[in-house]
Amino acid sequence: MRDKTLDLDWRQELAREEFDYPETVEEWNNFFRHLERRHLVPNGHVFTEYKCVNWLHTNGLDIPVEGVFRVTWYSFSPLVVYKWPATIVELRATSVRIVPPIDTVTVGVCPAPAVVYDYRYRRARNDRIFKYATYTLKPGEPFRSANDPKLLAQAERHLKRGRKYYEVPVTGKHKVLWAVAVVLAIPPVVYLLYQWHDRRHVAKQ
């Protein structure tokens, strides 16, 4: 349900604990488009509703076997009003089978090669947010602890020199374009300074 009392300004929205702030220009633009549309939705609007309409009671378990999802869009045009759900999805289980666990996973050990995004290292300081530490694990290799020196250093580097969370992301292409623009601007600036200095010298004479 839409609750406008939970709305924050855009900087606070970017800094939400459960939100990974944008890393690319495309993600940045998508964030603001979504935020703008969300602010237009009226208070109390229910986007998705789920209702379980039938249960299976067996072996001491309560298993949902039939349910309905209703998705209702909000029209951003004052001339259009949606009176009915845009989508209705009915789910029905045709059979239920209870089986014992097939396999077990050793806690703290990676079962397959993986890139890990470790949110235990999330930190915020100096208008910078370190979202998570990243590292790669091989099969059978244990996950790293919550105080791994290399990962702590990774977080510290970002908190000192990383992009501030509310700054627009800049790609490598944009950096090159800015560098070219600066280089191209130098000759005209030097010429104008020379002309100004020359005219000033003549005026003094």
Please report, in tens digits, the pLDDT of each residue of the chain (205 residues total).
899 999 999 999 999 999 999 999 999 999 999 999 888 888 888 889 999 999 999 888 899 999 999 998 887 776 777 778 889 999 999 998 887 766 665 667 777 788 999 999 999 999 999 999 999 999 888 899 999 999 999 999 999 999 999 999 876 555 444 444 455 556 666 556 666 655 555 555 5
Residue 33's SS3 state is helix
Tally Cβ neighbours within 10 Å of residue 109: 12
Residue extents of the structural domains in the chain: 4-92, 114-161, 172-205
Based on its alpha-carbon atoms, the radius of gyration of the chain, rounded to whole angstroms, reads 28
Q: Tell me how far the alpha carbon of residue 32 is from its chain's centroid.
A: 12
Q: Which of 183, 158, 175 is nearest to 25 (CA)?
A: 175
Q: How far apart are CA 133 and CA 149, in angstroms?
A: 11
In the chain the first and final C-alpha atoms are separated, in Å, by: 78
pTM of this structure: 0.64
Note the pLDDT tens digit of each residue in 72-83: 888 777 677 777
